[in-house]
A = this chain, B = another copy of it.
Amino acid sequence: MLTAKQQQLLLFIDGRLNSGGVSPSFDEMKDALGLKSKSGVHRLINALEERGFIKRMANRARALEVVKLPDGIAPTDQPSNVVEGNFGATTGSAGMIELPLHGRIAAGAPIEAFENADSFVQVPAAMVGRGDCYALEISGESMIDLGILDGDTVIIESGPAARSGEIVVALVDDMEATLKTLRKDGRSVALIPANKDHEIQTYDADRVQVQGRLVGLFRQYH
């Protein structure tokens, strides 16, 4: 009935209406979907209206109304949603939580730090730690020996605390984020890949900032 983008937008609108009551502007929707232009939003809105999922008043700002949701998606009844201090995670009901997906992270050669969240993934709440969490998609093979494959989605609990032996998202020199096993040796910090083709990298503790630690992983087979 709906395309993925249409559904994503519909759920976003529905979430906003049910959590605060103010309907989102085209710009906000644009950002929520990770677009750079709102003309795309306009088309999606038209498609949703054509299919009878939303109603709107012509030429009126923020005048959207969700008429129905696709089958199988339970209405987000109560005023719910943003979990305090969270990076934007929203809770659905029944133990589910929606985390922002902050783009891809290299398990291999470090790449630049995160882009904006451009989509969301749903993960079991039980998998999410207590703190603020977000999701990343793995790119590269450097953690392959620990069973973290290219394309996997990982859940990161954000925060600087980490013990030796934990797998962390580390930012080196404030510019490159990478997923590695952490080992602290006094003043120096080692980032250990799990792939015999990659080298352990050792840095002065000042240069490495732990952004978060790995708490969960999931993978889909097609």
Per the CB 8 Å criterion, the residue count for chain A at the interface is: 60
Q: Please give the count of copies of this chain that the complex contains.
A: 2
Whether the Cβ atoms of A219 and B72 lie closer than 8 Å is no
* Distance of A91 Cα from B125 Cα, bound (Å): 15
Distance between A64 CB and nearest chain B CB, rounded to angstroms = 6
Residues of B within 8 A of A73 (CB): 20-21, 94-95
Asked whether A1 is an interface residue with its Cβ less than 8 Å from the other chain, the reply is: yes
Our pick among B18, B95, B220, B221 for the contact of A96 (Cβ within 8 Å) is: B95
Residues of B within 8 A of A74 (CB): 78, 92-94
Residues of B within 8 A of A78 (CB): 71-72, 74
Whether the Cβ atoms of A72 and B19 lie closer than 8 Å is yes
Whether the Cβ atoms of B21 and A70 lie closer than 8 Å is yes
Distance between A43 CB and nearest chain B CB, rounded to angstroms = 12
Asked whether A205 is an interface residue with its Cβ less than 8 Å from the other chain, the reply is: no
Our pick among B96, B213, B221 for the contact of A215 (Cβ within 8 Å) is: B221
Given A2-B62, A63-B51, verify A69-B21 contact (CB < 8 Å). yes
1/0 per residue, CB under 8 A from B, across A9-41: the answer is 000000001111111000000010000000000
